[in-house]
């Protein structure tokens, strides 16, 4: 009787320890200089490590500065932190003007979301635009990143602060191709044409970089945009 019990408790302890380590990396609690994880390289990321490498940017302003400076795919500049008494604000954010060769206008967004957007644009949006339309996306439009509010459209989470309240989310609404063609979520999501095919493919591709990726099929509140964030929840719908 003793042997199996000892084996079980050791296995339990190992599982708890591994879970603890995974949560620590997932939350970005260990400063980058103390982890064996290589720092994120936006131009050539490690596919299996992307989530933890992005999480390292959550609290580390110096790492953010280095990662942004080294990248050709993300044109951004760190901005000063601002935290309000009600929990809204940002600690490690950037102003951003270009991701993966496409212009985007964002005055404040968490460094983690900015890096995830650059990866998404470079490795999903641009290759899919080339394949489906034979040209590049030049502009990505958004409805905004920062808004001090609670979660909208969910009865269960309605008392929780939205990731928008920490500038850790973005709502993407439309795209423009090199020849001027516009692809708009509100108009082009439905159907079987090239534009719908493109939107569905890039939405699915966003799940590789964002923890929450919601589109028009999720609920009415998202009928005209993609919501992407790097918060604690995990869903792709």
Torsion, Cα of 160, 162, 167, 168 (10° steps): 90
- Sequence-separated (6 or more) residues with CB below 8 Å from residue 100: 73, 118, 119, 120, 121, 122, 123, 125, 126
In sequence order, the β-bridge partners of residue 169 are: 229
Tell the smallest beta-carbon distance from residue 106 to Zn ion (Å): 13
Gap between the terminal Cα atoms of the chain: 47
* Phi, psi for residue 22 in degrees, rounded to 5: -60, -45
Tell the smallest beta-carbon distance from residue 211 to Zn ion (Å): 13
Tell the smallest beta-carbon distance from residue 186 to Zn ion (Å): 15
Give the count of residues interacting with Zn ion (CB under 5 A): 3
- Asked if 230 touches Zn ion (CB under 5 A), the answer is no
Q: Pick between residue 30 and residue 236 the one whose CB is nearest to Zn ion.
A: 236
Binding string, 72-111, against Zn ion, x = CB under 5 A?
A: ----------------------------------------
Question: Which residue is nearest to Zn ion, using beta carbons?
Answer: 227
Stretch that binds Zn ion, among 67-75, 132-140, 148-156, 219-227 (CB under 5 A): 219-227
- Asked if 163 touches Zn ion (CB under 5 A), the answer is no
Tell the smallest beta-carbon distance from residue 70 to Zn ion (Å): 29
For 96, the token pair is 């951003």
- Asked if 171 touches Zn ion (CB under 5 A), the answer is yes
Question: The tokens 């620590």 sit on which residue?
Answer: 24
Q: What's the rounded Cα separation, in Å, for the pair 133 and 142? A: 21
How many other C-beta atoms lie within 10 A of the C-beta of residue 221? 14
Tell the smallest beta-carbon distance from residue 146 to Zn ion (Å): 11
Q: Pick between residue 56 and residue 225 the one whose CB is nearest to Zn ion.
A: 225
Q: What's the rounded Cα separation, in Å, for the pair 185 and 87? A: 31
CA nearest neighbour of 28 among 49, 8, 5: 49
Among residue numbers 39 through 68, which ones bind Zn ion (CB under 5 A)?
none
- Asked if 227 touches Zn ion (CB under 5 A), the answer is yes
Stretch that binds Zn ion, among 6-14, 32-40, 164-172, 198-206 (CB under 5 A): 164-172
| Helix boundaries (H) for the chain | 2-26, 50-55, 61-70, 111-120, 126-133, 185-188, 194-206
Stretch that binds Zn ion, among 28-36, 116-124, 152-160, 227-235 (CB under 5 A): 227-235
Residues that bind Zn ion (CB under 5 A): 169, 171, 227
């Amino acid at each position: 009787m003793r042997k199996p019990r000892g084996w079980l408790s050791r296995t339990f302890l190992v599982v708890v320890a591994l879970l603890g380590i995974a949560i620590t990396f997932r939350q970005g609690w260990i400063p980058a200089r103390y982890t064996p994880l290589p720092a994120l390289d936006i131009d050539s990321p490690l596919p299996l490590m992307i989530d933890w490498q992005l999480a390292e940017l959550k609290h580390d302003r110096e790492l953010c500065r280095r990662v942004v400076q080294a990248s050709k795919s993300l044109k951004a500049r760190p901005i000063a932190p601002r935290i309000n008494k009600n929990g809204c604000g940002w600690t490690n954010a950037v102003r951003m003007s270009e991701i993966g060769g496409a212009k985007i206008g964002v005055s404040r967004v968490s460094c983690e979301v900015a890096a995830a957007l650059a990866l998404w644009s470079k490795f999903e949006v641009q290759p899919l635009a080339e394949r489906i339309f034979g040209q590049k996306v030049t502009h990505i439009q958004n409805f905004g990143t920062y808004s001090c509010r609670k979660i909208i459209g969910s009865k269960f989470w309605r008392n929780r602060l939205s990731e928008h309240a920490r500038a850790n989310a973005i709502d993407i609404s439309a795209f423009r191709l090199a020849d001027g063609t516009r692809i708009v979520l509100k108009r082009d999501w439905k159907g079987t044409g090239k534009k719908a095919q493109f939107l569905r493919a890039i939405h699915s591709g966003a799940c590789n970089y964002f923890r929450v990726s919601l589109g028009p099929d999720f609920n009415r509140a998202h009928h005209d945009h993609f919501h992407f964030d790097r918060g604690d929840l995990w869903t792709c719908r």
